[in-house]
Amino acid sequence: MNRPSSRHFLTASGLALLMALTPAIAQEPAAPGADAAQEAANNNQPLTAPDSQARQQQVMPESFADLVEKVSPAVVNITTTSTVSTPLVRGPQLPEGSPFSDLFREFGFPGFPPGEGNPFQRGPQREQRSNALGSGFVISPDGLIVTNNHVIDGADAIEIEFFSGKRLPAKVIGKDDKTDIAVLKVESSDALPFVKFGDSDRARVGDWVLALGNPLGQGFSASTGIVSARNRALSGTYDDFIQTDAAINRGNSGGPLFNMDGEVIGVNTAILSPNGGSIGIGFSMASNVVSKVVEQLEEYGETRRGWLGVKIQPVTEDIAESLGLAEAKGAMVTDVPAGPAADAGMKAGDVITRFAGGAVEDPRDLVRRVADAPVGEAVEVVVQRDGKPVELKVTLGRRELAEGTGGGRVDSAEASASDLMGMTLAPLTPEIAAELGVSRDMQGLVVQSVEPTGAAADKGLAAGDVITEAGQHPVATLADLEARIKEARDAGRKSILVMVRRAGEPRFVALPVG
């Protein structure tokens, strides 16, 4: 029995982000021009559009038929089979807490002794086979296939159906849930028609694109549209989606998004929809992200991303002004735990402006570029420190994730509290530190209250936060903070940069001093 499988919902303004498989599949006849496709595969050549045709179609395509005919032999349907367990219900379902549950527990039910819980919601598990469908595409003549990870996740068996109707079993080479990419492998006696990745960074908003796959169980299907937007981020750390209005539906997951040269510039992954159907907002993971992941999965069976070892935040206009930066660009370092960056001498308060020879636009840009950098090799990192550029050599490690949450409030009063910049502040004592769950050795000023309409509240400060630095100097007393504020005013600054720690987790905030 086929089943639809929906995962990874993201709600925005009442819409749902749907990543799904399909409940049925249909067979298609052999592709026109199949002999030419096989000849290309035998010669180890990818399927592409003729140059003249591509140039014409970029201007105003009269038809996509030639392009579809050329690349379709490399597009596949994927059927997965898995074993799922479901409760073997032995009576009508009763909700938890129902008075009938107490009745049956007290008097028993035929076949169930008194004292059991609700017998109708318990029982042995029944295993059954379940099928689900998706799409994919061949990237090498020896049978490497790319698809979405959610298409094959949890599958016991995977079968590939080619455009010609040929079917082959597949095994998983590697998968990456962070980009939702998986690489499969089939064994074929003949060389397989395949396609190649293009440069997704060259795609422009307004360019024509072609999506191929198996939507809604209807079998091989083509849809066209344009690039609606680029560099979309949904919910993942490494998101770089191409948004398109080409129709993408359930079952298109894992299928290719082609440019007019017949190159894959995206892997169709998700749609934004109130009802599960296409409304013209689809997302394809950019090929420049996918191709790097595929290379690592093929070589190692897993991803190996670089790790810098810092916590970072965006450089806002007011932070840039407080540091004397010409532009609000780069990634500001809020903390440097033990790791590659600490070994290289990076400090909290540094602003990373260049990485491996290229300018850093923002934290998202830095995260992706660090992930793509080779592990174990030294890279040049330029930081802005005390108004001057500092060059560091950082040997990257493997990426490790560290998450921190926090918040708190202070109930105890402090005699030496004072109002500054819209906050009531007091020196942090070991007792208050213990109450907040931070190190008893931490020094700084604890926020006791925040004026609701003040600048500190606008910046997100709250009771329980601890200010440990101001103007990139440690502060332990109210006098320390007042001195830093005076220095900023004397230098003609409109704001001062303070480090705020919440449950030990740091971030920088620029507060006005006028």
Q: What is the pLDDT of residue 18?
A: 38
Assign 71 a pLDDT band (cuts: 50, 70, 90).
very high
pLDDT digits (tens, 9 = 90+) for 195-205: 999 999 999 99
Instruction: Provide the token pair at 197.
Output: 């990745």
Map residue 342 onto helix, strand or coil. helix
Residues 341 and 292 occupy one common structural domain: no
For 297, list phi and psi in degrees, rounded to 5: -65, -40
Q: What is the domain-level CATH number for residue 167?
A: 2.40.10.120
150, 223, 261, 278: which one is catalytic? 150
Assign 128 a pLDDT band (cuts: 50, 70, 90).
low
**β-strand partners of 333:** 312
Domains held by the chain: number: 4
Q: What is the domain-level CATH number for residue 321?
A: 2.30.42.10
Alpha carbon distance 423, 450 (integer Å): 5
Alpha carbon distance 298, 295 (integer Å): 5
Q: What is the pLDDT of residue 304?
A: 85
Give the least confident one: 21-35, 240-254, 458-472.
21-35
Which residue, of 299, 319, 338, is where some domain finishes?
299
Residues 148 and 271 occupy one common structural domain: yes
Name the one residue in this structure whose structure tokens are 């998700």.
270
490 is in an annotated binding site: no
Residues 316 and 427 occupy one common structural domain: no
Instruction: Provide the token pair at 128.
Output: 């059954």
Map residue 229 onto helix, strand or coil. strand
Assign 414 a pLDDT band (cuts: 50, 70, 90).
very low
User: Does residue 407 lie in a domain region?
Assistant: no
Assign 60 a pLDDT band (cuts: 50, 70, 90).
low
131 is in an annotated binding site: no
Alpha carbon distance 365, 217 (integer Å): 38
Give the least confident one: 120-129, 171-180, 208-217.
120-129
The whole-number average pLDDT for the span 316-333 is 91
Residues 161 and 248 occupy one common structural domain: yes
Q: What is the pLDDT of residue 111?
A: 45
User: Does residue 59 lie in a domain region?
Assistant: yes
Q: What is the pLDDT of residue 454?
A: 79
Domain membership of residue 108 as a residue range = 89-123
180 is in an annotated binding site: yes
Residues 272 and 388 occupy one common structural domain: no
Query: For the chain, what is the radius of gyration of the CA atoms?
Result: 29
Residues 23 and 163 occupy one common structural domain: yes
User: Does residue 211 lie in a domain region?
Assistant: yes
Alpha carbon distance 460, 456 (integer Å): 7
180, 239, 245, 480: which one is catalytic? 180
Q: Is the pLDDT of residue 96 over 60?
A: no
Nearest to 21 by CA among 264, 283, 304, 215: 215
Q: What is the pLDDT of residue 280?
A: 86
User: Does residue 406 lie in a domain region?
Assistant: no
Residues 425 and 310 occupy one common structural domain: no
Q: From residue 60, how far is each of 51, 64, 69 by CA, in Å?
A: 15, 11, 19
pLDDT digits (tens, 9 = 90+) for 465-508: 899 999 888 998 888 898 888 888 888 888 899 999 887 788 89
pLDDT digits (tens, 9 = 90+) for 347-375: 999 999 999 999 999 998 999 899 888 88
Which residue, of 338, 365, 398, is where some domain finishes?
398
Q: Is the pLDDT of residue 176 over 80?
A: yes
Alpha carbon distance 21, 365 (integer Å): 31
Q: Is residue 223 among the annotated active site residues? A: no
Alpha carbon distance 242, 255 (integer Å): 14
When the pLDDT of each residue in the chain is averaged and rounded to a whole number, the result is 79
High-pLDDT (> 70) share of the chain, %: 77
Residues 260 and 138 occupy one common structural domain: yes
Torsion angle, alpha carbons of 144, 146, 150, 153, to 10: 10
CA-based end-to-end distance of the chain: 69
Q: Is residue 416 among the annotated active site residues? A: no
Residues 332 and 447 occupy one common structural domain: no
Q: Is residue 458 among the annotated active site residues? A: no
Residue length of the chain: 514
Q: Is the pLDDT of residue 398 over 80?
A: no
Q: How far is CA 203 from the centre of its chain?
A: 21
253 is in an annotated binding site: yes
Alpha carbon distance 379, 389 (integer Å): 16
The whole-number average pLDDT for the span 419-423 is 79
Assign 302 a pLDDT band (cuts: 50, 70, 90).
confident
User: Does residue 1 lie in a domain region?
Assistant: no
Residue-wise DSSP of 466-494: EEEEETTEE--SHHHHHHHHHHHHHTT-S
Which residue, of 123, 145, 177, is where some domain finishes?
123
Residues 110 and 67 occupy one common structural domain: no
Q: Is the Cβ–Cβ distance between 88 and 225 less than 8 Å? A: no
Residues 329 and 428 occupy one common structural domain: no
Residues 274 and 364 occupy one common structural domain: no
User: Does residue 466 lie in a domain region?
Assistant: yes
Angle at 202 between CA 198 and CA 206, to 5 degrees: 110
149 is in an annotated binding site: no
Q: Is the Cβ–Cβ distance between 324 and 496 less than 8 Å? A: no
Alpha carbon distance 338, 302 (integer Å): 25
82, 135, 253, 278: which one is catalytic? 253
Q: What is the pLDDT of residue 361?
A: 92
Q: What is the pLDDT of residue 300?
A: 84
The whole-number average pLDDT for the span 246-271 is 91
User: Does residue 408 lie in a domain region?
Assistant: no
Q: Specify the DSSP element, H or E, that contains 397.
A: strand 397-398
User: Does residue 403 lie in a domain region?
Assistant: no
